[in-house]
A and B are shown apart, each in its own frame.
Chain A
Amino acid sequence: MSYVLIVGAKSDIAKEVARTYAKNGYNLYLAARNVTSLEDLAIDIRTRSGVEVHLKELDITEYEIHQDFYDSLEERPLGVVTVSGYMAEQKEAQVEWAKSLNTINVNYTGTVSFLNIVANDFEKERRGFIVGVSSVAGDRGRKANYIYGSAKAGFSAYLGGLRNRLYESGVQVLTVKPGFVNTAMTKELDLPEKLIAQPLEVAEDIFKAQQNGGNVLYTKWIWRYIMFIISHIPEFIFKKMSI
């Protein structure tokens, strides 16, 4: 059976995405920094689903090695899901350049570098799917997290363009825009309970949307409407707001 490559496999969302693909019979490459801590997850998934799971060391910001990494995979994946992301505290990112830069590099530059390679290969093969986990934060810049948001905005635009380009070759590109998800990233934040999705829900939404040939997924679905409203607030009002 085909392989799916999951980048940023240590994330809570990725863990459930991996389990969901495995449950449906896909073999997995799990890529992350310091993959040794993923040994237990690999055993978990093999035990649950009886599929092949390989761990692969990858730092998404080390652009130089992306091509070699991709070429070294035993078997070309049928699909790639990028889940890696980084959200620095906005107040810190706006005064510490290193944090701003890492936010941009993890969420945008690094992922672009990597997906360019994947896209070129898939285009040639005329098959495959690419799922990029972006964020609703990219739909409009807000003072609370616009550095992260702008990197995700760039990534969403990139995925939109890629979808347009790869349409002809039959390669699917799915943009995923989660709202709030209960993960390590949001642990410290005080969020409205009703709007928070569990990683498993997000993973199931992603799998379903990908299998059904979806384009842009908001998860929970309500975020499509929330972001529609937020995007349509006139700028002269929006700039005075704190949301």
Chain B
Amino acid sequence: MKLNSWGMYPKVDSMTHELSDDTKLKEYLESCDECISYGNGRSYGDSALSANIVHTKPHDFFLDFDDAKGLLHVQSGVLLSEILESYVPRGWFLMVTPGTKLITVGGSIASDVHGKNHHTEGCFSSCVLEFNMMLEDGSVKNVKSGTELFKATCGGMGLTGIILDAKIQLKKIHSQYIKQTTIKTKNLRETFRAFDKYKDEPYSVAWIDCLAKGDDIGKCLLMVGDFDTKGDLDYKPKSKLNIPFNFPSFALNNLSVKAFNWLYYAKAPNGESKQRVGIDSFFYPLDSIKNWNRIYGKGGFTQYQFILPLEVSYDGLQEILGLISASGKGSFLAVLKLYGKKNDNYLSFPIEGYSLALDFKIEKGLFELLDQLDEVVVRLGGRIYLTKDVRVSKDTFESGYEDIEKFRAYRKKQKMDTKFHSLQSKRVQI
């Protein structure tokens, strides 16, 4: 079967093992030379791709919930959306959630994902108390927060083993509404000031216009907010719009991107404005359009996400936004965020500084442009997010992740380095 992730590039011939029980998984691992876990395929590139995959999504039982503590025990294939459906009405929310709820708990741990509250709550691993995983030799290990295997596995992109189930902490909420403030800025300087001014708000993210030129570079809509204390918990996920087929490739030309970015920006009132919005529109605006990845056409797309250390973020972003805008290869989506402190996990992406994420349609000349951007990122001591990546070189990857040698050494020592490989891990030789 042809398999791909969210970017629809590359498409790989793959054999699938559906994860059901431990005994069958163990037998499977004995019989197969090489494989990688595949959750819900919401990573953009080739982190979850290989000739053989273990499809973990069918492993989707809820195991236990401690009402008093908000402690949830689920199998690794459970989607975050399923957790929300069950627990928002009972007054619980995820401590950390990325910009899509259509990902598995296993995938959340393996990419150590983060959300709009990274600066206050950190990565997904900070709400994980423990998990069970199957190692290469078929043994099942209980892994507690703080241990070395925990640090290697959170952010470890499935390369240490297969996560089977996890205990995660939920947070109490009293309303399904978020009090949001939207700040419209005119350039990067204003954007940085706004991030700084609102750094005590638990949730923040900016949508940035990547096609702006000259003095306008860095103009954005910054959205910050927190859960309301009043309101109801009557959360019902909205039905979705569907993009039923791949758009022809001419649909997403520079002009249409410009129009979209402009509309979005223009719609917002000048200065600051207040809104009260629901969970889905605040946290998961893109999930309301099913298969939105198809708008980039059959050839697919990629997301380029990097982060720069705080001290060099401003100059670095000026430079990179300048390069992007000059290239004319625009993006439907560009997300800017100020991150909090880095954690101890070997390969978790976040460090303290600004991160930009933007989508590019796969086309001629793109990878050359991204190589050019890489040079800036490397020069400034930044790094690339593996779960979005499909093309980064070994050198670029390594230069950003100072703990990569620790990770490699640990995997080697524990004999974890023969069976679990993805196309990505081979490319960057993790």
**A44 pairs with B62, CB closer than 8 A:** yes
Instruction: Flag whether A47 is at the interface (Cβ < 8 A).
Output: yes
Considering the chains assembled together, what is the distance between the CA atoms of A44 and B60 in angstroms? Answer: 9
Interface size on A, residues (CB 8 A): 10
Question: Chain B residues with Cβ under 8 A from A41's Cβ?
Answer: 61
**B85 pairs with A23, CB closer than 8 A:** yes
Considering the chains assembled together, what is the distance between the CA atoms of A102 and B63 in angstroms? Answer: 35
Question: Chain B residues with Cβ under 8 A from A50's Cβ?
Answer: 90
Q: Which 9 pairs across A and B sit closest by C-beta, in order of nearness? A: A47-B62, A44-B61, A48-B86, A44-B62, A48-B62, A47-B65, A40-B61, A47-B64, A49-B86
Q: Other CB < 8 Å A-B pairs besides A41-B61, A48-B86, 11 of them?
A: A23-B85, A40-B61, A43-B61, A43-B62, A44-B61, A44-B63, A47-B64, A47-B86, A48-B85, A49-B86, A193-B1
Instruction: Flag whether B344 is at the interface (Cβ < 8 A).
Output: no
A44 CB to closest chain B CB (Å) equals 4
- Which residues of chain B from 57 to 92 have a CB within 8 Å of any chain A CB? 61-65, 82, 85-86, 90
Question: Chain B residues with Cβ under 8 A from A193's Cβ?
Answer: 1
Interface size on B, residues (CB 8 A): 10
Least CB separation from B75: chain A residue: A44
Least CB separation from A19: chain B residue: B82
**A43 pairs with B85, CB closer than 8 A:** no
Least CB separation from A46: chain B residue: B62
Question: Chain A residues with Cβ under 8 A from B62's Cβ?
Answer: 43-44, 47-48
**A47 pairs with B85, CB closer than 8 A:** no
Least CB separation from B74: chain A residue: A47
Quick one: CB contact mask for B382-406 with A, threshold 8 Å, 1 for yes? 0000000000000000000000000
A interface, over-half SS = helix
Least CB separation from A43: chain B residue: B63
A15 CB to closest chain B CB (Å) equals 10
Question: Chain A residues with Cβ under 8 A from B86's Cβ?
Answer: 23, 47-49
Q: Which of B62, B65, B86, B90 has the most CB of A within 10 A?
A: B62
A residues in contact (CB < 8 Å) with B: 23, 40-41, 43-44, 47-50, 193
B interface, over-half SS = mixed
**A48 pairs with B63, CB closer than 8 A:** no
Least CB separation from B82: chain A residue: A48
Question: Chain A residues with Cβ under 8 A from B1's Cβ?
Answer: 193
B55 CB to closest chain A CB (Å) equals 11
- Which residues of chain B from 65 to 124 have a CB within 8 Å of any chain A CB? 65, 82, 85-86, 90
Question: Chain B residues with Cβ under 8 A from A44's Cβ?
Answer: 61-63
A211 CB to closest chain B CB (Å) equals 14
Considering the chains assembled together, what is the distance between the CA atoms of A23 and B85 in angstroms? Answer: 9
Least CB separation from B21: chain A residue: A40
Question: Chain A residues with Cβ under 8 A from B64's Cβ?
Answer: 43, 47
A137 CB to closest chain B CB (Å) equals 24
B83 CB to closest chain A CB (Å) equals 9
Considering the chains assembled together, what is the distance between the CA atoms of A50 and B86 in angstroms? Answer: 9
The 6 sampled A-B contact pairs (Cβ below 8 Å) are A41-B61, A43-B63, A43-B64, A47-B86, A48-B82, A193-B1
Considering the chains assembled together, what is the distance between the CA atoms of A40 and B60 in angstroms? Answer: 11
A113 CB to closest chain B CB (Å) equals 32
**A47 pairs with B82, CB closer than 8 A:** no
Q: Which of A43, A47, A193 has the most CB of B within 10 A?
A: A47
Considering the chains assembled together, what is the distance between the CA atoms of A48 and B79 in angstroms? Answer: 12
B37 CB to closest chain A CB (Å) equals 20
Question: Chain B residues with Cβ under 8 A from A48's Cβ?
Answer: 62, 82, 85-86
Considering the chains assembled together, what is the distance between the CA atoms of A41 and B61 in angstroms? Answer: 7
Considering the chains assembled together, what is the distance between the CA atoms of A43 and B74 in angstroms? Answer: 11
B56 CB to closest chain A CB (Å) equals 16
B72 CB to closest chain A CB (Å) equals 8
Considering the chains assembled together, what is the distance between the CA atoms of A193 and B86 in angstroms? Answer: 31
- Which of A23, A47, A49 is the one whose CB lies under 8 Å from B63? A47
B361 CB to closest chain A CB (Å) equals 24
B302 CB to closest chain A CB (Å) equals 24
Quick one: CB contact mask for B168-191 with A, threshold 8 Å, 1 for yes? 000000000000000000000000
Question: Chain A residues with Cβ under 8 A from B61's Cβ?
Answer: 40-41, 43-44
A187 CB to closest chain B CB (Å) equals 9
Considering the chains assembled together, what is the distance between the CA atoms of A41 and B63 in angstroms? Answer: 9
Question: Chain B residues with Cβ under 8 A from A23's Cβ?
Answer: 85-86
Considering the chains assembled together, what is the distance between the CA atoms of A10 and B387 in angstroms? Answer: 36
Quick one: CB contact mask for B323-343 with A, threshold 8 Å, 1 for yes? 000000000000000000000
Question: Chain A residues with Cβ under 8 A from B82's Cβ?
Answer: 48
Least CB separation from B60: chain A residue: A44
